[in-house]
A = this chain, B = another copy of it.
Amino acid sequence: MATQAAIPTSTQSWVEHTADALRRAGYRSSGPRMAVVETLGRHDCVLTAGEIADRLRSEGRDVGVATVYRALELLEGLGLLHRLETGEGPTRYEPAHPTGEHHHHLLCERCGHVSAFEDQGVERSLGRLARRLDFRVEGHDLVLRGQCAVCAAESRSKAEGRA
């Protein structure tokens, strides 16, 4: 029920869907803008604005940071991206799938690693909750904080060593 495995992202289709959505909304599919979209589409994990700019630079496709930020802002406004803030470091972004299918995140507070999971039980609870609140719920963000398996094992063995 709760999957922690790689989430199938059918990258290509999100990039295509995004290009369509931009055109339909009257925006241009310029080179730099699509370079940002393609970079996001190639990674199922979250990326920061800086990381996107760096990756593009290392591919020889220099795109100014301002352009990256503007593209991210536009895409998020169109519901094509999800934003994730973990409290450490800059804001991260990842593709939002048109199916409404989405996942949430596990943040390891020791190593900073972010991974994804899905859980239908939680989604159902959130759906029921949304119907009860005097608030028009349009989306939700959920982050579980703690220690990933690797770090948990490390801190366990350290504790044993000390004992």
On A, residues with C-beta under 8 Å from B are 1-2, 4, 83, 85-87, 91, 106, 108-109, 115, 117, 119, 121-122, 124-126, 128-130, 132-149, 152
Copies in the complex: 2
A125's nearest neighbour on chain B, judged by CB, is: B125
Q: Which of B87, B91, B132, B147 contacts A138 (CB 8 A)?
A: B147
Partner of A135, one of B85, B130, B138, B147: B147
Complexed CA–CA distance, A121 and B87 (Å): 26
9 A-B pairs besides A2-B133, A121-B129 with CB distance below 8 A are A4-B134, A106-B133, A119-B125, A122-B129, A125-B125, A129-B144, A135-B144, A141-B143, A141-B145
